[in-house]
Structure 1
Amino acid sequence: MKLAGAPISWGVCEVPGWGFQLEPERVLSEMRELGLTATELGPQGFLTRELIESYGLSLAGAFVPVVLHDPGHDPLRDLPEEGTLVLAAATGTDGYDARPALDAAGWATLLANLDRIAAALGSRASLHPHVGTMIETRDEVERVLADSSIPLCLDTGHLLIGGTDPAALVTSVPSRIAHVHLKDVDARIAGQVSGGGLSYTQAVRAGVYRPLGQGDVDVAGIVAGLDGGGYEGWFVMEQDVILSGPEDRPMEDVRRSLAFLDGVLGTG
């Protein structure tokens, strides 16, 4: 199992005002202390390959929000030239608490751009359905699957909050899954997001993401299904958190998630 961490599990996020931001050195040293061997990059400029490798870790990929629906914008110019790219269909504004509706022209542009990216980059790029982006809901995910060739990043948390059963995708479209973000979710809080009672940021602050095995996602079943289907990509552990200060200890929740995975895999 190719297992990686992500800076967002330490509260490091590209959204302005997203809580206290830890220093890269603390994040990487705690990843190493926990036994992780790889990480995603996190926000642009937070980590470099050289810094990651200086802590004995490797690079698992980069989360890249990119505008795909604007006919006057070429998203290929925004993409890094190397590495595994996890794309989110950005709205063009900061944050994930609101998004516009796509019209027919916007959909046509987005789908055409996804096919251009898939043709140019193959499985090196995947689309990450994500709350507060242009691809969030089950209908939107299904339309991308039906009308484009882009592989998916299976983010078990964002999919569930948006109304898609991630376990069903493992069964129905295993060949379209190129990257995995493992999250567990408090379904009660997630329902408040989809029902409009909480913004995404409020939900993260309220603890919508739980250590693996402590929420309502069938993480064990999803991991088993992917393994049985021949998945060979990265499993990136992500538990989005908002920190209040340097005294917070996000690594303890990552430790709990690792212990859960050890039990699932029979290695603990």
Structure 2
Amino acid sequence: MRIALNPIQWMASDDGWLDPSRAPEREQLLSLIKQAGFDSVMAEVPADWTVERYRSVVDGVGLTLAPGYFVCRSDGRDGNEDAVVASAGAVARQHAELGLTQIGLGLAMGKDMPRVAHPARAYDVDPTRVEAVTALIGRIADTMLAEGVRPNLHPHVGTWIESEDEGRAVLDALPDSRLGFLPDTGHLAWAGSDVGKFVADYAERIPFVHVKDCRLSVATRGREQGWGYQQTVLDGLWVEPGRGELDLAGIIGNLPGDFDGWLMVEVDRPDIADCYESAVASARWMHTTFGNASS
């Protein structure tokens, strides 16, 4: 196992969302990640940087790269499919240039989307939409694979692939050779999944995991009270690994014994107010809990 960080705690905004402009300048941010105790970071080439410049800066601060993430900004039937597929190909080429062969793939989530207003409830469930999304993901997969990069489905609260049933439907429709599985422990738990069983059932398709802790009590209260995504987050849903209510070690224990992929920490909103200290606490817990993991 290898340990990495997606440094989104630096992007947490006051309204329970993420705002990338809040993060420090990229080279400073990468240096902070290294100082906090991580040796690897999620790959994300800034829009105005070349791949060469990004790789040079990452190397310069002593970090290695873990797989990044592609956001599919279409539901498969809105007319944006061709543009999304083209964008996926461009991101896959960047990953290939960085020497990466895997990438996460999730659907877009906007503040005005129905499932953001009604999170973790499979709101407005529609099998025909899932079928359209699956067809689009198949096209994205073929385009990315042509670049030497395999996408991995990432069910996410607030999107049209949110529930375990929706995630399984996509995974069962597309073979391992075209699509892997990127579970997020926090989002799956929030959506009501038996995360350990879900991971165990598709373990051979998982090259990396988003390790995210949460307070299930907050998720339950939010569901009972009809809170939206942002209100649930602001009420204290997310925490650093080891500070919440998930059995993260037990969930990760469902991976194959020879698993050599990535455990990527994500803290969407830090419970520890200082973002750097949040990262330090996360690194310390991960290395203590998964002591045989490298980073």
Q: If the length of structure 1 is used for normalisation, what is the TM-score?
A: 0.83
Shift of 1:213: 1.6
Note closer, same or farther for the CA distance 1:91–1:70 as it changes in structure 2 (3 Å cut).
farther
Counterpart contact for 1:2–1:234, Cα < 8 Å: yes
Q: Give CA deviations for 1:20-59 in whole Å, capped at 9, x if unaligned.
A: 7121244212111122111114596398444333322122
Partner residue, 2:98 = none
Any residues of structure 2 matched to 1:71-220 within 5 Å, and which?
71=77, 72=79, 73-74=81-82, 75-79=84-88, 80=91, 81-83=93-95, 84-90=102-108, 97-98=116-117, 101=124, 103-122=126-145, 124-149=150-175, 150-195=179-224, 197-220=226-249
Which of residues 18, 31, 34 is equivalent to 2:33? 31
Unaligned 5+ segments in structure 2 are 96-101
The aligned counterpart of 2:274 is 249
Counterpart CA distance in 2 for 1:104 and 1:167 is 25
What is the identity, as a one-letter code, of the residue corresponding to 1:36? F
Distance in 1 separating the partners of 2:193 and 2:155: 10
Q: Who is 2:265 aligned against?
A: 237
**1:62 pairs with 2:85:** no
Q: Please report how far the alpha carbon of residue 64 of structure 1 lies from its aligned counterpart in structure 2 after TM superposition.
A: 2.0
Change (3 A) 1:166 1:49: farther
Alignment RMSD, CA only? 3.2
State the SS of the aligned residue for 1:126. Answer: strand
Structure 2 distance, partners of 1:40, 1:46, is 18
Look up the SS of the partner of 1:154 in the other structure. Answer: coil
Distance 1:209 1:46 in 2: 31
Letter in 2 for 1:199: G
Identity across aligned pairs (percent)? Answer: 29
CA contact (8 A) 1:16 1:94 kept: no
Separation (CA, whole Å) in 1 of partners of 2:223 and 2:205? 25
Q: How far apart, CA to CA, are the structure 2 residues paired with 1:194 and 1:60? A: 33
Structure 1 residues 25 and 196, CA, compared in 2 at 3 Å: closer, same or farther? farther
Deviation per CA, 1:87-107: give whole Å up to 9, x if none.
112257767724874645433
1:261 aligns with 2:286: yes
Quickly say closer, same or farther: Cα 1:148–1:188, change in 2 above 3 A.
Answer: same
- Structure-2 change in CA distance of 1:111 and 1:212 (3 Å): same
TM-score by length of 2: 0.76
